[in-house]
A and B are shown apart, each in its own frame.
Chain A
Amino acid sequence: MGERSSLVYTVSDAAASIRENPVTVALSAVTVGFSLAIFTLFLIVFINISGVVHQWGEKAHVIVYIKDNSVKGGISELKANLTLLGEVESVTYISKDDALKILNTGFEAGEGLLEGLKENPLPASFEIKLKDSFRDPKLISNFAEKVGSYRWVEEVQFGGEWVEKFAELISFVKLTAVILGTFLIVATLFIISNTIRLTVYARREEIEVMRLVGASNTYIKAPFVIEGVTSGIVGGLIAYVLIYLGIHFLGSQIPSYFELDFQSTLSAPFLLLCLILSGVLLGAIGALVSLGKFLKV
């Protein structure tokens, strides 16, 4: 019975304290809300952009042009050899004639672009699709270099340097996310622990009396932790609203060729759960940090 009553008292004490200092709780909640929202929006943008880059990487086949006259009948042998490479998923052979046909489909029927020429100048090629795990710009470029050194290869073309550049940008953004995240967490913890510290300071006499009548540390700390956690939950909800407003705004500002799809990045209930849990964590840690220094027996 004793334990249950203590729990009830703890919760009702916390509720009373929140009713007495709604401003403190609101301040912490807004802080939590904004930092979670900023970080989450950043994360959503980041996830989308890397997704887009990944898609581009996927589209980027490696095309290997074959030197004219370097091979006579051994096409199928070369194709088999390429297929055996660890990186390769599939290989399609495009003969000189195929290449011409593909080129011509781009123009008005009958009005062949290379009509006048006696000989087809287009090279034959292999179009290589890489395995999933090798669709990274760096790895694609390594692969292209390797194949490019083969005797029968005229030239290798792949997704382009800019994919690589963009990937570099992404890893820079990743680093920024880590730094920004750390910064926001530290700043939020600092603000929460200081708002709670102010409450603790305002109630220091009450806390002293509680200790004198035999309150355990847990009994004394719990209302403050509950206060922090409440700020965290409210903060999570605030963040959720801010993120939706943010997505709405960003969604209308982004050029369509980016093919970003914010709505489906995170499912709403999952996002809400994550935000509230992060808020709870921030609130609880913030409270414990401020109490640790203050409450000594």
Chain B
Amino acid sequence: MIQLYHVHKKYDGAVQALTDVNLKIEKGEFVFITGSSGAGKSTLLKIMFGSEVPSDGHIILDGRNYLKIPPEQIPLIRRRMGFVFQDFKLINTKSVFDNVALALKVMGVGPALIKKRVNKVLAYVQLQHRANFKPLTLSGGEQQRVAIARALVKDPAILLADEPTGNLDPELAVQVMELFKEVSLRGTTVIVATHDHSLIQRFNSRVIEFSEGKVISAGESA
């Protein structure tokens, strides 16, 4: 469960990205975060992920105050989270396989299991045939699916996806969303930031709407 209490975020350049955000997201929920460009969606996900620190307020993650977690434990928390970054954040010098495998390697998973799970998740996102390619030789949509595969491969407790379908054609976008839905049915909390309203309409899930850093509708839990 993720709880946010009076979370504010002001970036260095005095940009007020989030203002007094209060949210509660249950374990296993499937949530869309929506809002126009610059509304603060990415900022919200980054704060939940711990790569940005709120200027004020509290975040409770499974009953623990996120901001009081010692830095050396942050990696442990990240291993339980999958994040699909809006800019993918792939390592361009490593193959697709190695990029996805990295998420498991840092956890110390053995090579045999890594091979099995990476191949399986690459099949999910239809990228087996690109396993040995370097990211920069792939199309935008393919790179995005590598990022998705890397977030899913570790069976995360929480999946944070920032515009995960931005580069995908509508058909693939729906497939990816169905994959996410499946994952959430197995107990993963899925939080998807998107401004693709047709996608939101298609999936009957909770929608949290942002405008200029404020929650204007917290939606109903499905």
Residues in B whose Cβ lies below 8 Å from that of A206: 91, 93-94
Cβ B110 vs Cβ A5 within 8 A: yes
| Chain A residues packing against B (C-beta within 8 Å) | 1-6, 8-9, 205-206, 208-217, 219, 297
Could you tell me the distance in whole angstroms from the C-beta of A203 to the nearest C-beta in chain B?
8
Q: Known contacts A212-B83, A213-B150; is A9 also within 8 Å of B105 by CB?
A: yes
Chain B residues 81 to 99 lying within 8 A of chain A, measured CB to CB, are: 81, 83, 85, 89-94
Q: Does B108 contact A (CB under 8 A)?
A: yes
Alpha-carbon distance between A9 and B113 when the two chains are bound, in angstroms: 14
Q: Which residues of A contact B108 (CB under 8 A)?
A: 1-6, 9
B123 within 8 A of partner (CB): no
B103 close to A213 (CB less than 8 A): yes
22 contacts between A and B (CB under 8 A): A1-B110, A2-B107, A4-B108, A5-B105, A5-B108, A5-B111, A6-B105, A8-B111, A9-B108, A205-B92, A209-B90, A210-B102, A212-B78, A212-B85, A212-B89, A213-B78, A213-B79, A214-B76, A214-B78, A214-B106, A216-B75, A297-B74
Minimal beta-carbon separation of A224 from chain B (angstroms):
16
- Chain B interfacial residues counted at CB < 8 A: 28
Q: Is the interface of A mostly helix, strand, loop or mixed?
A: helix
A2–B105 alpha-carbon span in the complex (Å): 9
- Nearest residue (CB) in B for A2 is B108
Interface membership of chain B positions 100-136, coded 1 if the CB is closer than 8 angstroms to chain A and 0 otherwise: 0011011111110000000000000000000000000
Which residues of chain B are near A4, meaning CB under 8 Å? 108
Most buried by B among A1, A209, A211, A219: A209
Tell me if B91 and A214 are in contact (CB < 8 A): no
The reply to whether B110 and A212 form a contact with Cβ atoms under 8 Å apart is no
Q: B102 contacts which of A3, A205, A213 (Cβ < 8 Å)?
A: A213
A9–B111 Cα distance when bound, in Å, is 9
Asked whether B72 is an interface residue with its Cβ less than 8 Å from the other chain, the reply is yes
* B63 CB within 8 Å of chain A: no
> Please, which residue of chain A has its CB at the minimum distance from the CB of B74?
A297
Q: Is B36 an interface residue when CB atoms closer than 8 A count as contact?
A: no
